[in-house]
Amino acid sequence: MTVPVDNPANPLGHPSGSARDHFALSRRKLLTGTATMSAAVALGEFGSSSTAGAAPMPLSRDRLWYRQPAHEWIEALPVGNGRIGAMVFGGSGLERLQLNEDTLWTGGPYNPVNPEAHTVLPQVRQLIEQGRFTQAQALANERLMARPLSQMAYQTFGNLTIAMPSLGAVEQGSYLRELDLDAALATTTFQADGVSWSREVVASPDHQVIAVRLWADQPGMIYCLVGLEAPHDSALTIDGDTLILSGRNNGAHGVEGALRFEARARILHQGGGHSVSDGKLAVEGADTVTILIAMATSYRGFDDVSGDPSQITRGQIEAASRYSFARIAADTAASHRKLYRRVALDLGETPEAHRPTDERIRTSQTSDDSALAALYFQYGRYLLICSSRPGSQPANLQGIWNDSDDPPWGSKYTININTEMNYWPAEPSGLGECVAPLVSLVRDLAQTGARTAREMYGARGWVAHHNTDLWRATAPIDGAAWGLWPMGGAWLCTHLWDHFDYHRDTEFLRSIYPLMRGAALFFLDTLQRDPATGFLVTNPSISPENEHPGGASVCAGPAVDRQILRDLLAQTAKAATILGVDRELSAQMLDALSRLAPDRIGSQGQLQEWLEDWDADAPEPHHRHVSHLYGLYPSHQINLDETPALAMAARKSLELRGDESTGWATAWRANLWARLREGDHAHRILRYLLGPERTYPNMFDAHPPFQIDGNFGGAAAIAEMLVQSRDDEIRLLPALPRAWPQGSARGLRTRGACEVSLGWRGGELISAKLVGRTAGKRIVRLNDRSAEVELIPGRPVTLNGPSLRTSPLVTSAE
């Protein structure tokens, strides 16, 4: 079938002029760093942080680029539209797109609650109260944990391959592979056989396809074989110009596969012809080739697998086939930029910024490359946009990108930190819409978690433990040392409140209040009175994944539980007050909150992780989790202004744990030091995070292996170093490191529905602009100075002038 074109005079969608000139110019711009982009466009009124007369900002500011193809998956480049994604390898003679669709998981609907759990729960609680922790853990493992003990796993969909067997050697120095974060476009260009070749890939949120375009600057030169494969029970058929791969998902852990899936790849070409060759579609003598890929499963919900993937993919392919690649790519860029361009960040630039991305990562810990942190921040925002959009599943442990049918930790939703960390940068970096899939996840968990609360605990409300999956399983898994933690749903509810707090949308609050209320009801029913102290505690629980000196992990009332409960109960009560409902229940929640054990300072000067002062004797003093510091970040319960002693105890805990850990744990540490307003320390940790030990060549986080939470946590830390907010208070440049002496940021968001842009030089604020989306007073702080500003929608307020260094903040309304 002939590829559709928008402009018959320019069917490839390239700029006017010869295609060879276009290729040469694009390549020359990236490799020499002489291409420019207006700093005013990128950063608004604050401009570039570069001093007058400095070299202009290169296009590589928002690009990852490489001089060679990806040889491993961790070198390939990701594209995604929230629901479907691909990893693009950029091979010359053989291109591979590793494909994903966010509902292709193992298994089907199931209820994992152990039928013995409710009966044995009182015995486990009693053993913990008696300090018989190993016996309690053994009994919990035997009779309390989920059946099956493991949840279902996210799956790769398969691969689309494009072979060009007749292609000659690539001319030396001509190869370029890049990912344009601003356009959401992956491109591979090179020269071979005297011909300039180009491949472009986008994942379209509007057309719901992954689109690929192959182009050569001489007519009739494209000869390729296109294949589609999957590592599942599947069959491939070919219908004219379309490859169709259909099959069923795998079962796991005794849960049968219940999903049907289908992928379609339609090959459209300008010139030449196509035929079937050994299970592939062969294209011969084409000028351009466009491949449209659609994927779907029969998943409609955690309890409904009645969808028709064939009907879905057929409709998507037919609809997308009406448009040229240029149109699909333009629509993709426009949709992506509505989110991506809300925020811009300039942290300065050095010659290191003009090197290929993999080289920059390799030398990042020994070179001065402040622009790499800005790129990492924007890459994190790019990844969130591409893996979490309204209507999609939430970003899992690998976002949406996974090349295995047995991925690490099932590539699930680990809700004792990792899923939450995925969404830490969403609100401050202007991506509130990307939280919608997380809200939908909580709505589902409130249903399945109600069954777990009832059958396992005999309680009202709902509960989710430390992991969940596509089927929204909520019972404790893996083993008591990891899974017997009832706070996952409660922590997720704090994100519901955060979304409200950043946007102040009362109708949204009304819609999510029942979820928060249900989570709170569960704890009103299940909190236990600690016989030694009289305080209310969770029992059984753990401090996530950490063993205490009692020879086990199970315990009662660890610090993280108390801190999360303070937020859950206080936020739910406040929501009830705002909505004018549940006055009596609010009083019960606040009473329970007042009876929770307080945070304590231990013998080392540290913030105690458990009720008892066990930290010094814990088996893993440098444990990756720092769960007991939740109260410092992401919460605000512990802070330098109101609880300075606890803040210093948290600081001591950080010193004892050490700075370097797994990828996500390193990112959490950077956020914690930023919250303590120690920018140089936060930057030192961030620099390690961006180094080759914790960042792969494609900038994916190295746990190792790959986990995307490190990317999102690192992006959140950068935002936290520049702007912090709590309630109606905004703090500017609270943790600015000396390594970023000048820079600017546009469009960061704060609580209270406010947008903040700012510029600084010599480590000092030059000006800041606040744009409120709701009216009201805000307190703005800079070091030890503050100002009260009145925000009116549509009337920006500017804090300005060099006099800020020595006098109170000066404000003006525009």
Residues 383/386/392/395 CA torsion (nearest 10 deg): -10
DSSP 280: E
The identity of residue 618, as a single letter, is A
How far apart are the C-alpha atoms of 18 and 644, rounded to whole Å? 65
Partners of 196 in beta bridges: 191
pLDDT of residue 37: 28
pLDDT of residue 812: 62
Q: List the structure tokens of 392.
A: 């999609």
First to last CA, the chain: 57
Band of pLDDT at residue 813, cut at 50, 70 and 90: low
pLDDT of residue 3: 59
Sorted by sequence, the CB contacts under 8 Å of residue 515 that are 6+ apart come out as 442, 443, 446, 493, 496
pLDDT of residue 11: 33
Between 642 and 352, the higher pLDDT residue? 642
83-117 per-position pLDDT tens digit: 999 999 999 999 999 999 999 999 999 999 999 99
Q: Report the candidate in 673, 781, 642 with the shortest Cα–Cα distance to residue 735.
A: 673
pLDDT of residue 89: 98
584-632 per-position pLDDT tens digit: 999 999 999 999 999 999 999 999 999 999 999 999 999 999 999 999 9
How far apart are the C-alpha atoms of 80 and 289, rounded to whole Å? 21
Partners of 760 in beta bridges: 743, 765
Band of pLDDT at residue 367, cut at 50, 70 and 90: confident
Q: What angle do CA 407, 102, 281 make, to 5 degrees?
A: 90
Mean per-residue pLDDT, 246-268? 98
Partners of 199 in beta bridges: 188, 214
| CA quadruple 484, 489, 495, 497: dihedral sign | negative
Residue 165 has pLDDT above 50, yes or no: yes
pLDDT of residue 794: 86
Q: Please state, for a pLDDT cut of 90, what percent of the chain lies above it.
A: 89
DSSP 253: T
Q: Please state, for a pLDDT cut of 70, what percent of the chain lies above it.
A: 91
Residue 444 near residue 302 (C-beta atoms within 8 A): yes
How far apart are the C-alpha atoms of 169 and 150, rounded to whole Å? 48
Band of pLDDT at residue 2, cut at 50, 70 and 90: low
How far lies 56's CA from each of 183, 343, 359, 485, in Å?
A: 20, 20, 22, 52
Residue 327 near residue 206 (C-beta atoms within 8 A): no
Residue 638 near residue 632 (C-beta atoms within 8 A): yes
How far apart are the C-alpha atoms of 805 and 814, rounded to whole Å? 22
How far apart are the C-alpha atoms of 785 and 780, rounded to whole Å? 8
Mean per-residue pLDDT, 489-496? 98
pLDDT of residue 811: 59
pLDDT of residue 366: 87
Q: What are phi and psi of 325, to 5 degrees?
A: -60, -40
Q: What are phi and psi of 760, to 5 degrees?
A: -145, 160
Q: What are phi and psi of 630, to 5 degrees?
A: -50, -35
pLDDT of residue 51: 28
Site of tokens 């924007």? 378
Q: Report the candidate in 519, 410, 483 with the shortest Cα–Cα distance to residue 117.
A: 483
Residue 7 has pLDDT above 50, yes or no: no
Mean per-residue pLDDT, 293-320? 98
Q: Report the candidate in 601, 592, 463 with the shortest Cα–Cα distance to residue 529.
A: 592
How far apart are the C-alpha atoms of 537 and 505, rounded to whole Å? 33
Q: List the structure tokens of 328.
A: 């699909």
789-810 per-position pLDDT tens digit: 999 998 999 997 444 444 456 5
Query: Where are any strands of DSSP class E within 278-385?
Result: 280-286, 288-297, 344-346
Between 53 and 268, the higher pLDDT residue? 268
pLDDT of residue 13: 38
Band of pLDDT at residue 24, cut at 50, 70 and 90: very low
Taking the CB of residue 433, how many other CB atoms lie within 10 A of it? Answer: 14
